[in-house]
RNA sequence: GGUCCUGUAGCCGAGUGGCUAGGCAAAGCUCUGCAAAAGCUUCUACACCGGUUCGAAUCCGGUCGGGACCUCCA
């Protein structure tokens, strides 16, 4: 069964066919680094990290490009005034590039905590000014742009006469126009939907570069067009981002590429849904965004406790990427426990020694396990349905635990099945989903626990329950759970 | 107003017309020196009203509710 991807452009799932067999080019719109990323931003990057990892799992050689927007983003998109970096820089009396540096590092740190793989290339807008100017020149040359006082605008209405501008989100020109304000007297633009490719900078503007049209800075949309073309070519496989980018940013990217190169940039447009809080979208402008930091420390009025980054990642995997996901304390708590249960079973599974069982003594169970495991790929191939894969994994947890406890005989399933189970759990939990144990511990602690377990075992053998209980209770009070297992063994974990 | 998405058991959530995902919570039982963990069992839901169909949570129409986008935002 082949991979199917929901394409925003066609509004249906399509079979994935890469342009170059065996290779995938994927571009994802990254963060604008003028402030901390919030959890909603993180959701998108986690979703695409899973997609990236799964494509690698399938054997593709993937070039994953995710930009850092560090210039040009305007306040209010009125094509006037400061860009966001200059504004914050003035406020904090810093160089714009100090702002950029600070939040870029912060972003990468959070990505790492969430166990996202770094993209293959992470290009910045300021590093590609020349490319953006070139592209603007070409668009002008092709007749889709016009200059007004040193600012270059994209002529949307002209473009729309030749091809549908609102193709990505299925909107008609008239409807789009209805939703926009009238042009005021001081507006330079010809059309209400026109957007800036290059913006003339005022003298006091902190970030500006020379161009054929004077000093200025690039418009927001042109950077992604220029950088995706540079690293992935005029036409590549997947272009992704949050759903909020589809109507404006991605629509404009398509128009720019068409106007410049006469081709739509990507074959598959993927959009991840929003993270909500109490049913409302988490966003910077609404100020209801959770910072990862607040979550990891529990320092937020809506949170009862801190949650490990990996719990947050797991929480997001339980929902399909195209559904909205509501963020709540209860939901996170459920995820925390669920991940622990799943991971405990995974560690148990890894300790199984493979016998040499040719024939399963419980063929029915053997068939069931094979079916559940083989469905992992099937579900992922169906537009990356991580939630369903996890559902199957949880169905396998009782099987694993029962084998451990001797409730299911070791020869119930064949060695081949058990080997497959082990391999797929590893491949999915670690490689594709990028999960790990939520409770961090270190080797020294492990050694100490060995010692305590030894002492407790001795005490129990002597029926010295005062001592054995003391060890267990005191450990419990510092958050370490000691559990007796069948056969006298003991295991432990941290809350 | 336009373009879409959505309404699933206490909570979170998956869901391809027929085979009742899964997690968390709750209850009972088993195991156990006691506990925890684990296992087993129970709680069997699809906003409402029509329609199509042998059969609908799933398709169609309508009603009501929620949300996103159309302004910067992943």
Quick check: A323 CB within 7 A of strand B? yes
- Domain count across chain A: 3
* Containing structural domain, residue A465: 443-494
pLDDT at A89: 75
Reported confidence tier of residue A189, pLDDT bands at 50, 70, 90? confident
Domain co-membership, A265 together with A288? no
pLDDT of residue A75 exceeding 60, the answer is no
CATH classification at residue A163: 3.40.50.620
Judge if A266 and A349 occupy the same domain.
no
A266 is a domain residue = yes
Asked if residue A40 has pLDDT above 50, the reply is yes
pLDDT at A140 over 90: yes
Distance of CA A246 to the CA centre of its chain: 17
Winning range, highest mean pLDDT, from A182-186, A217-221, A439-443: A217-221
What is the rounded distance in angstroms from the CA atom of residue A473 to the CA atom of residue A270? 51
For A319-339, the pLDDT digits (tens) are 999 998 988 888 999 999 999
Q: Is the CB of A303 under 7 A from strand B?
A: no
**For the residues A294-312, what does the mean pLDDT come to?**
88
Q: Mark whether A224 and A91 lie in a shared domain.
A: yes
Q: Residue A25 CA to B17 C1' — how many Å?
A: 38
Q: What is the mean pLDDT of residues A435-454?
A: 79
- Reported ipTM: 0.93
Residue A166 lies in a domain: yes
Q: Mean pLDDT over residues A171-194, rounded?
A: 75
Contacts of A253 (CB under 8 A, 6+ apart): A221, A224, A225, A228, A239, A265
- Residues A9, A266: contact at Cβ < 8 Å? no
My answer on whether A174 and A93 are in the same domain is yes
156-175 of chain A touching strand B, CB 7 A cut-off: 169-172, 175
Tell whether A420 is covered by a domain: yes
- Any strand B atom closer than 7 Å to A473 CB: no
Distant-in-sequence, close-in-space partners of A265: CB < 8 Å, separation ≥ 6: A27, A225, A228, A229, A234, A235, A236, A239, A253, A254, A257
The CA distance from A400 to A414, in Å, is 13
Does A78 score more than 60 pLDDT?
Answer: no
pLDDT at A77: 40
> Beta carbon of A178 within 7 Å of strand B?
yes
Per-residue pLDDT band at A379 (split at 50, 70, 90): very high
- Proportion of chain A above pLDDT 90, given as a percent: 58
- For residue A226, what are its two tokens? 């220029």
CATH number where A300 lies: 1.10.730.10
Within a domain: A438: no
Please tell me the distance from the alpha carbon of residue A421 to that of residue A398, in angstroms, as a whole number: 13
Answer with the one of A272, A289, A322 that is the final residue of a domain. A272
Whether residues A234 and A319 share a domain: the answer is no
In a domain, A437, yes or no: no
From the CA of A430 to the C1' of B25: give the distance in Å: 28
Q: Please tell me the least confidently modeled range out of A77-81, A208-212, A354-358, A443-447.
A: A77-81
pLDDT at residue A375, rounded to an integer: 93
In a domain, residue A288? The reply is yes
**Distance of A271 CA from B47 C1′ (whole Å):** 28
Report the pLDDT averaged over residues A451-462: 87
Over range A445-470, report the average pLDDT. Answer: 86
Spatial CA neighbour of A126 closest among A153, A93, A101: A101
Q: Reduce the secondary structure of chain A to three states and give it as a string.
A: CCCEEEECCCCEEEECCCCCCCEEEEEECCCECCCCCCHHHHHHHHHHHHHHHHHHHCCCEEEEEECEECCCCECCCCCCCCEHHHHHHHHHCCCHHHHHHHHHHHHHHHHHHCCCCCCCECCECHHHHHHHHHHHHHHHHCCCEEEECCEEEECHHHHHHHCCCCCCCCCCHHHHHHCCCCCCCCCCCCCCCCEEEEEECCCCCCCCECCCCCCEEECHHHHHHHHHHHHHCCCEEEEEEEHHHHHHHHHHHHHHHHHHHCCCCEEEEEEECCEEECCEECCCCCCCCCCHHHHHHCCCCCCCCCCCHHHHHHHHHCCCCCCCEEECHHHHHHHHHHHHHHHHHHHHHHHCCCCCCCCCCCHHHHHHHHHHHHHHHHHHHECCCHHHHHHHHHHHHHHHHHHHCCCCCCCCCCHHHHHHHHHHHHHHHHHHCCCCCCCCCCHHHHHHHHHHHHHHHHHHHCCCHHHHHHHHHHHHHCCEEEEECHHHCEEEEEC
CA of A296 to C1' of B73 (A): 23
Which of A161-165, A437-441, A489-493 shows the highest mean pLDDT?
A161-165
Among A222-236, A302-316, A397-411, A441-455, top mean pLDDT goes to A222-236
pLDDT of the residue at A114: 95
Q: Return the bridge partners of A242, or none.
A: A272
Asked if pLDDT for residue A74 goes beyond 80, the answer is no
Whether the predicted pLDDT of A64 surpasses 70: yes
Distance CA A437, CA A204 (A): 51
Burial A258-282 (b: 16+ CB within 10 A, else e): bbbbeebbbbbbbbbbbbbbeeebb
Considering A214, A247, A272, which residue would you say is the last residue of a domain?
Answer: A272
What is the pLDDT at residue A441? 62
pLDDT at site A230? 97
Range A385-394 average pLDDT: 95
State residue A184's pLDDT score: 57
In a domain, A371, yes or no: yes
For residues A157 and A26, state if they share a domain: yes
A288 shares its domain with A357: yes
Is strand B in 7 Å reach of the CB of A381?
no
- pLDDT mean across residues, chain A: 89
pLDDT at A334: 93
Pair A267, A289 in one domain: no
β-pair partners for A14: A5
Both A183 and A295 in one domain: the answer is no
CA of residue A264 to C1' of nucleotide B65, angstroms: 39
Spatial distance from the CA of A375 to the C1' of B18 (Å): 21
Q: Give residue A207's pLDDT.
A: 86
Asked whether residue A20's C-beta has any atom of DNA/RNA strand B within 7 A, the reply is no
* pLDDT for residue A432 is more than 90: yes
Among A272, A301, A326, the domain boundary falls at: A272
Provide the CA A295 to C1' B3 distance, Å, integer. 35
Q: Quick check: A442 pLDDT over 80?
A: no
Asked if residue A323 belongs to a domain, the reply is: yes
Q: Give nearest nucleotide to A345 (CA–C1').
A: B38
A333 and A473 fall within a common domain: no
Distance CA A79, CA A256 (A): 17
pLDDT score, position A181: 61
Q: Is A359 exposed, middle or buried (0-12, 13-18, 19+ CB in 10 A)?
A: exposed
Least confident of A370-379, A413-422, A472-481: A472-481
A211-220, A439-448, A482-491, range with the lowest pLDDT: A439-448
Query: Nearest nucleotide (C1') to the CA of residue A402?
Result: B39
Quick one: pLDDT band at residue A79, thresholds 50, 70, 90?
very low
Q: Confidence class of residue A81 from pLDDT cuts 50, 70 and 90?
A: low
Q: How far is CA A471 from the centre of its chain?
A: 42
> Residue A69 forms beta bridges with which residues?
A32
Write down the pLDDT at residue A159.
93
φ and ψ at A24, to 5 degrees? -130, 130
A333 and A408 assigned to the same domain = yes
Q: Are residues A387 and A314 in the same domain?
A: yes
- The C1' atom of B54 and the CA atom of A226 lie apart, in whole Å, by 58
Q: Is the C-beta atom of A189 closer than 7 angstroms to strand B?
A: no
């Amino acid at each position: 069964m082949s991979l199917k991807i929901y394409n925003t452009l066609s509004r249906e799932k399509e079979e994935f066919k890469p342009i170059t067999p065996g290779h995938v080019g994927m571009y994802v719109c990254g963060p604008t680094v003028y402030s901390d990323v919030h959890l909603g931003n993180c959701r998108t990057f986690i979703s695409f990290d899973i997609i990236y990892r799964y494509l690698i799992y399938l054997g593709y050689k993937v070039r994953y490009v995710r930009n850092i927007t560090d210039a040009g983003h305007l306040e209010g998109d009125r094509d006037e005034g400061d860009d966001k970096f200059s504004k914050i820089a003035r406020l904090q009396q810093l160089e714009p590039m100090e702002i950029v540096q600070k939040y870029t590092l912060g972003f990468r740190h959070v990505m790492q905590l969430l166990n996202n793989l770094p993209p293959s290339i992470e290009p910045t807008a300021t590093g590609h000014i020349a490319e953006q100017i070139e592209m603007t020149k070409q668009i002008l040359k092709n007749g889709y742009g016009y200059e007004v006082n040193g600012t270059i605008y994209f002529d949307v209405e002209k473009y729309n006469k030749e091809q549908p501008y609102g193709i990505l989100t299925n909107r008609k020109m008239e409807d789009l126009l209805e939703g926009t304000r009238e042009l005021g007297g001081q507006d330079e633009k010809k059309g209400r939907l026109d957007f800036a490719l290059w913006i003339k900078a005022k003298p006091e503007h902190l970030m500006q570069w020379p161009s054929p049209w004077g000093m200025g800075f690039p418009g927001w949309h042109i950077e992604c067009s220029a950088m995706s073309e540079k690293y992935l070519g005029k036409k590549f496989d997947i272009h992704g981002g949050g759903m909020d980018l589809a109507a404006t940013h991605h629509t404009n990217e398509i128009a720019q590429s068409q106007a410049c190169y006469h081709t739509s940039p990507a074959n598959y447009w993927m959009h991840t849904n929003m993270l909500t809080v109490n049913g409302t979208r988490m966003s910077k402008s609404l100020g209801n965004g959770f910072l990862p930091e607040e979550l990891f420390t529990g320092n937020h009025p809506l949170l009862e406790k801190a949650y490990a980054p990996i719990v947050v990642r797991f929480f997001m995997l339980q929902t399909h990427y195209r559904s909205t996901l509501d963020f709540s304390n209860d939901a996170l708590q459920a995820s925390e426990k669920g991940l622990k249960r799943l991971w405990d079973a995974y560690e148990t599974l890894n300790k199984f020694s493979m016998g040499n069982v040719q024939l399963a003594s419980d063929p029915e169970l053997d068939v069931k396990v094979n079916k559940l495991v083989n469905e992992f790929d099937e579900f992922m191939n169906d537009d990356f349905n991580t939630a369903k894969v996890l559902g199957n994994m949880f169905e396998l947890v009782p099987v694993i635990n029962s084998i451990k406890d001797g409730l299911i005989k070791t020869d119930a399933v064949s060695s081949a099945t058990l080997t497959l189970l082990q391999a797929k759990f590893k491949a999915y939990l670690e490689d594709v989903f990028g999960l790990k144990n939520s409770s961090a511990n270190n080797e020294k602690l492990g050694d100490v626990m060995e010692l305590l377990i030894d002492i407790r075992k001795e005490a129990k053998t002597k029926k010295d329950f005062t001592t054995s209980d003391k060890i267990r209770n005191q450990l419990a009070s510092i958050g370490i759970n000691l559990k007796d297992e069948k056969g006298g063994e003991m295991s432990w974990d941290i809350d």
